[in-house]
């Protein structure tokens, strides 16, 4: 069985979009992230990919809303906390498909 691949095995990704599925189920109280440990754990991966010139897109969900989208399960406060941890701007799209998502990806530097 072949060994799993790592970031060292990736070819030239400069200017390419890289989708990374992350677990960002972090505690949020009154709209503020109270523990950034999971965000801190993904920071090296994001830094390495962006350091190689990739446009990093994080894919995540938060909680389990029962009847469709709910403001209490928005990833927006987590995007703000991610920006704080990374020390750089982090964009946020309120949807993962359609024009909203497409515009957010197109606006990436």
- Across 51-87, b (16+ Cβ under 10 Å) vs e yields ebebbbbbebebeeeeeeeeeeebbebbbebbeebbe
Q: In the prediction, which pLDDT does 40 show?
A: 98
pLDDT tens digits, one per residue of 5-35: 888 888 999 999 999 999 999 999 998 999 9
Average pLDDT, the chain: 90
14-106 to CATH, choices 3.30.230.10, 3.30.1390.20, 3.40.50.1260, 3.40.50.300? 3.40.50.1260
pLDDT tens digits, one per residue of 66-95: 787 777 788 999 999 999 999 999 999 988
Tokens of 75: 């990833």
Q: In the prediction, which pLDDT does 45 show?
A: 96
Q: In the prediction, which pLDDT does 32 show?
A: 93
What is the pLDDT confidence band of residue 62, given thresholds at 50, 70 and 90? confident
Share of the chain above pLDDT 70, in %: 97
Q: In the prediction, which pLDDT does 8 show?
A: 87
């Amino acid at each position: 069985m072949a060994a799993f691949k790592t970031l060292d095995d990736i070819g030239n990704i400069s200017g390419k979009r890289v989708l990374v599925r992350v677990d960002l189920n972090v505690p949020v109280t009154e709209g503020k992230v109270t523990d950034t440990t999971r965000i801190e754990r993904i920071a090296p991966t994001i830094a390495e990919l962006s350091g190689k010139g990739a446009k990093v897109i994080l894919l995540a969900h938060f909680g389990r809303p029962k009847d469709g989208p709910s403001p209490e399960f928005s990833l927006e406060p987590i995007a703000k906390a991610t920006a704080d941890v990374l020390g750089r701007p982090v964009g946020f799209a309120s949807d993962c498909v359609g024009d909203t998502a497409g515009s957010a990806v197109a606006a990436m530097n």
